[in-house]
């Protein structure tokens, strides 16, 4: 809704100003002791807030959209970076800078304008999760955080970690899949990487915003303990591993109350139970009240233009004056914000616009992420890797002649070189549809210089089949564009692409399907195609990454962070709740499956998916030996040896699953840990996986503890969630209790 309004003022697009990088912040003068870097962030925040007038404190808790928002505003607030997400004026009197906010998780985004800033985009969040490599997630975060800093931003609204409860969720591409341990770890590392640039990041969208349909109104119900073991655990782990400066509360209601005024979520779970010391910012348009929101834990209203009222403006001032919100609570709100600014180095390392970005270097980070995140789903008869000597290659569909797809909405990053396929629908929010100009076709041709490579756009399946019949191998590129605020209407690929693939596969038995999708899709043609590659949205170097995997310059090592269902009928909700045509209607989404999300649901119901969680093939093979476990310093260690038994180098993702033999869990097994191991042919490595203790317990909401039941547990080491290459061992665990933060109680 919001950005098509923005196109009305597109003509106002300002040129991106260039200047030089800032020098260091000034040393602390005696009258500004909070600028003394030797003091703790807590102390500095305390001193700074003490020096503020009430009016000054109030300014920190009231955020603006960084872009004009007609009809409410026809030009952006002074000081905001053009076409940015957010702005909060700083306090020059106290030496505290503005907060300059940009989306989001794959890079520095631009709100819709014909003149966007051009930046490096990582592959989608789900692609990063598919790498199963926290170091890759960190490196990607560090790269996009550096671009944020060089673009003048000191807050990045990244850190999306909503669990994939439904493969049709329109924002799955921004998140990290269905498992709380994997998602929390990967997103936690990405956020840590961003913050290594002295840029505050968020963890979002807190909480349970797991579908876009009716996102502003729907009301989530879920057993509290189950949410602590699923969605909330992912957020908790991401926060622990990143120490994020901020959390963004979500649009939806939970237990009848909007997330941004929800005492249980904000005060009890986040601030009290988890000890979160940062600040809670609302999502843009997610604030609904003044007194209730402030008292129930919201620290800042964001993008106030999106809300019905400037709730944290004059109304909050009045509420404080009249005692409905205490002065102490206002102090707490301001303290949390400036504390994050001190803790993350935002005050001591001022940003300026116009820094020099090394696009070649950053493109390599994006490419490395794509190469590790692309998942080889199927490879019968070793159709892949392609030989360099192949004579004719038919490349079909997906605009593979010019680029690779990206996902839509507020997180949209615009590439250097511009949109490779301009003009596609939807052109307005959550569009435009953007293809990054990294051409798979050109990169394929570069890797097979002697081959004849022909392209067919795939719009006529019969013609494409004729082209495929003439070639040694046919590569069909299939796309699913998805964007924020819209869920996919089904798991089917749009635009007749299933027919296209079916026809091409019928004409050429050596057909390889390359998918560029936001999340899982159905594959009615899968039995006919010997090879399938899931490339997700592969970022600004995606075409190169895809080509390198196809030809074996890179051995694929991505594994699915989410189950690919055989059909919607297998899902907890075969039909999504709510009506996309009536977004303002309130309805309940009852997550009856509780903590049995994704593969846990499939296991519990005995369903066979199309491709299981954790699945991913390689051009080599691996074997496991010497599986053993040991409890050391209160932690369960799982040790084993991985060997590359094939004849090319590759990376394996050995996965440890745990199943209780006596205790009762929400599902037969949980992912307990993994590693990503690079091995030369014939090489072996010893691996030690340390199990996160919360994964072994059940949460008890009454006592707020995690209870690990005494008894036997089976540890399964496998190459995927379906038990490929599985070997197992049984361990006896004593009863133990962990506190709400997962620490062993003596």
- Mapped to the 3 state alphabet, what secondary structure does 291-354 carry? HHHHHCCCCEECCHHHCCCCCCCHHHHHHHHCCCCCHHHHHHHHHHHHHHHHHCCCCCCCCCCC
Q: For the CB of residue 109, give the shortest distance to ligand BGC in the complex, in Å.
A: 8
Would you count residue 487 as binding ligand BGC (CB under 6 A)? no
Specify the DSSP element, H or E, that contains 575.
none
Beta strands in 207-251 (DSSP E): 219-221, 246-249
Cβ at position 608, least distance to ligand BGC in Å: 35
- Between 85 and 237, name the residue whose CB sits nearer to ligand BGC: 85
Alpha helices in 354-397 (DSSP H): 359-373
CB 626 to ligand BGC: min, Å: 45
Q: CA 73, 79, 81 angle in degrees (round to 5)?
A: 85
User: Residue 85 Cβ, how far from ligand BGC at the closest point, in Å?
Assistant: 4
Handedness of CA 152, 429, 416, 196 (dihedral sign): positive
- Minimum CB distance to ligand BGC smaller for 411 or for 503: 411
Region of residue 107 (left: phi > 0; alpha: psi -120 to 50; beta: else)? left
x/- letters, 663..692, toward ligand BGC (CB under 6 A):
------------------------------
Instruction: Identify which of residues 49 and 286 has a Cβ nearer to ligand BGC in the complex.
Output: 286
Told to check if 212 binds ligand BGC by CB under 6 A, we report: no
Smallest gap from Cβ 185 to ligand BGC, in A, equals 21
Least gap, CB of 656 to ligand BGC (angstroms): 33
Question: Which string of x and - marks every residue 284-313 that binds ligand BGC (by CB under 6 A)?
Answer: x-----------------------------
Give the end-to-end CA distance of the chain in Å, rounded to a whole number.
Answer: 53
Nearer to ligand BGC, 284 or 640 (CB): 284
Q: How far is the CB of 105 from ligand BGC (least distance, A)?
A: 9
Cβ atoms 481, 421 nearer than 8 A: no
Using the rule CB under 6 A, which residue among 6, 77, 103, 612 binds ligand BGC?
103
Cβ contacts of 46 within 8 Å, gap of 6 or more? 335
Least distance CB 63 / ligand BGC (angstroms): 10
Residues 227-286 that bind ligand BGC (CB under 6 A): 283-284
Is 502 known to be catalytic?
no
Q: Which is nearer to ligand BGC, 344 or 510 (CB)?
A: 344
CA–CA distances in Å: residue 483 to residues 403, 411, 470 = 18, 9, 37
Q: Which of 80, 139, 157, 515 binds ligand BGC (CB under 6 A)?
A: 157
Which is nearer to ligand BGC, 34 or 284 (by Cβ)? 284
Cα dihedral 8, 11, 12, 13, rounded to 10, equals 110
Query: Using the rule CB under 6 A, which residue among 49, 81, 85, 642 binds ligand BGC?
Result: 85
- Neighbour count for residue 212 (Cβ, 10 Å): 29
In sequence order, which ranges of 509-650 are alpha helices (DSSP H)?
542-550, 599-605
User: Which residues are within 8 A (CB) of 233 and not within 5 positions of it... i.e. 6 or more apart?
Assistant: 180, 181, 184, 694
By three-state DSSP, how is residue 646 classified? Answer: coil
Q: Is 104 in the site for ligand BGC (CB under 6 A)?
A: yes
Output 96 or 156, the one with its CB closest to ligand BGC: 156
Which among 98, 103, 179, 283 is annotated as catalytic?
Answer: 283
Q: What region, left, alpha or beta, does residue 722 occupy, with left being phi > 0 and alpha being psi -120 to 50 degrees?
A: alpha
Nearer to ligand BGC, 85 or 365 (CB): 85
* Entry field: residues in the chain: 746
- Residue 441's nearest CA partner among 547, 366, 364 is 547
d(CA 131, CA 141): 14
Which residues within the stretch 409-428 sit at the binding site for ligand BGC (CB under 6 A)? 410
b/e burial code for range 690-704 (CB count within 10 A of at least 16 → b): ebbbbbbbbbeeeeb
Measured from the CB of residue 7, what is the shortest distance to ligand BGC in angstroms? 16
Q: Which is nearer to ligand BGC, 190 or 672 (CB)?
A: 190
Tokens for 376, please give them: 């080889």
Closest listed residue to residue 143, CA positions, set 132, 130, 156: 156
Q: What is the closest distance, in whole angstroms, from the C-beta atom of residue 125 to ligand BGC in the complex?
A: 12
Nearer to ligand BGC among residue 192 and residue 204 (C-beta): 204
Torsion of CA 718, 722, 724, 725, to 10 degrees: 40
Which parts of 34-161 fold into alpha helices (H)? Answer: 41-50, 54-60, 125-130, 134-150
What are the start-end ranges of the E strands in 97-211?
A: 99-102, 155-156, 200-206
Q: Which residues are catalytic, by number? A: 283
Residues that bind ligand BGC (CB under 6 A): 85, 103-104, 157, 204, 283-284, 410
């Amino acid at each position: 809704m919001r950005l098509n309004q923005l196109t009305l003022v597109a003509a106002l697009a300002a040129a991106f100003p260039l200047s030089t990088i800032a020098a260091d912040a000034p040393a602390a003068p005696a009258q500004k002791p909070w600028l003394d870097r030797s003091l703790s962030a807590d102390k500095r925040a305390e001193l700074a807030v003490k020096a503020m007038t009430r009016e000054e404190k109030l300014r920190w808790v009231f955020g603006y959209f960084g872009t004009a928002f007609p009809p409410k505003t026809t030009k952006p607030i002074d000081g905001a970076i053009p076409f940015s997400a957010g702005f909060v004026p700083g306090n020059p009197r106290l030496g505290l800078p503005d907060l300059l906010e940009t989306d989001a998780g794959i890079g520095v985004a631009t709100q819709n304008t014909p003149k966007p800033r051009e930046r490096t985009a990582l592959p989608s969040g789900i692609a990063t999760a598919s790498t199963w490599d926290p170091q890759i997630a960190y490196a990607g975060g560090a790269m996009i955080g550096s671009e944020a800093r060089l673009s003048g931003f000191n807050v990045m609204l990244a850190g999306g970690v909503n669990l994939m409860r439904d493969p049709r969720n329109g924002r799955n591409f921004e998140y990290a899949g269905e498992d709380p341990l994997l998602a929390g770890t990967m997103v936690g590392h990405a956020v840590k990487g961003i913050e290594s640039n002295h840029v505050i990041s968020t963890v979002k969208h807190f909480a349970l915003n797991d579908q876009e349909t009716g996102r502003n109104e729907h009301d989530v119900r879920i057993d509290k303990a189950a949410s602590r073991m699923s969605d909330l655990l992912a957020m908790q782990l991401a926060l622990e591993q990143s120490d994020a400066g901020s959390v963004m509360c979500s649009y939806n209601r939970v237990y009848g109350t909007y997330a941004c005024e929800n005492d249980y979520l904000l005060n009890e779970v986040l601030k009290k139970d988890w000890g979160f010391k940062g600040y809670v910012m609302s999502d843009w348009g997610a604030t609904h009240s003044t007194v209730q929101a402030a008292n129930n834990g919201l620290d800042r209203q964001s993008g106030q233009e999106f809300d019905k009222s400037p709730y944290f403006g004059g109304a909050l001032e009045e509420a404080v004056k009249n005692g409905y919100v205490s002065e102490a609570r206002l102090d707490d709100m301001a303290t949390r914000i400036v504390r994050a600014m001190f803790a993350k180095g935002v005050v001591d390392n001022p940003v300026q616009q116009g820094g020099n970005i090394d696009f070649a270097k950053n493109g390599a980070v994006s490419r490395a992420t794509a190469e590790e995140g692309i998942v080889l789903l199927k490879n019968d008869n070793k159709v892949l890797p392609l030989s360099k000597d192949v004579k004719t290659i038919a490349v079909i569909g997906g605009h593979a002649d010019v680029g690779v797809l990206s996902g839509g909405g507020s997180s949209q990053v615009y590439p250097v070189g511009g949109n490779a396929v301009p003009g596609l629908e939807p052109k307005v929010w959550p569009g435009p549809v953007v293809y990054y100009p990294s051409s798979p076709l050109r990169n394929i041709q570069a890797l097979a210089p002697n081959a004849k490579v022909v392209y067919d756009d795939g719009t006529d399946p019969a013609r494409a089949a004729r082209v495929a019949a003439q070639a040694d191998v046919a590569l069909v590129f299939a796309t699913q564009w998805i964007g924020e605020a819209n869920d996919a209407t089904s798991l089917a690929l749009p635009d007749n692409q299933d027919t296209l693939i079916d026809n091409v596969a019928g004409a050429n038995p050596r057909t390889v399907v390359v998918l560029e999708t936001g999340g899982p899709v159905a594959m009615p043609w899968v039995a006919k195609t010997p090879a399938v590659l899931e490339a997700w949205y592969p970022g600004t170097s995606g075409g190169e990454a895809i080509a390198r995997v196809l030809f074996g310059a890179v051995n694929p090592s991505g594994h699915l962070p989410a189950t690919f269902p055989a059909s919607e009928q297998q899902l907890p909700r075969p039909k999504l709740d709510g009506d996309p045509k009536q977004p303002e209607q309130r309805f309940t989404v009852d997550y009856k499956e509780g903590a049995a999300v994704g593969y846990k649901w499939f296991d519990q119901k005995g369903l066979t998916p199309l491709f299981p969680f954790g699945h991913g093939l390689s051009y080599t093979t691996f074997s496991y030996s010497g599986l053993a476990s040991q409890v050391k310093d209160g932690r369960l260690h799982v040790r084993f040896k991985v060997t590359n038994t094939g004849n090319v180098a590759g990376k394996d993702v050995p996965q440890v699953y745990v199943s209780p033999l006596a205790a009762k869990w929400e599902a037969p097994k949980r992912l307990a840990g993994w590693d990503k191991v690079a091995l030369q042919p014939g090489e072996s490595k010893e691996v030690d996986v340390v199990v996160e203790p919360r994964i072994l317990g059940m949460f008890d909401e009454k006592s707020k503890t995690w209870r690990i039941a005494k008894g036997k547990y089976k540890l399964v080491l496998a190459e995927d969630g379906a038990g490929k290459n599985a070997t197992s061992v049984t361990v006896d665990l004593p009863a133990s209790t962990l506190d709400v933060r997962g620490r062993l109680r003596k």
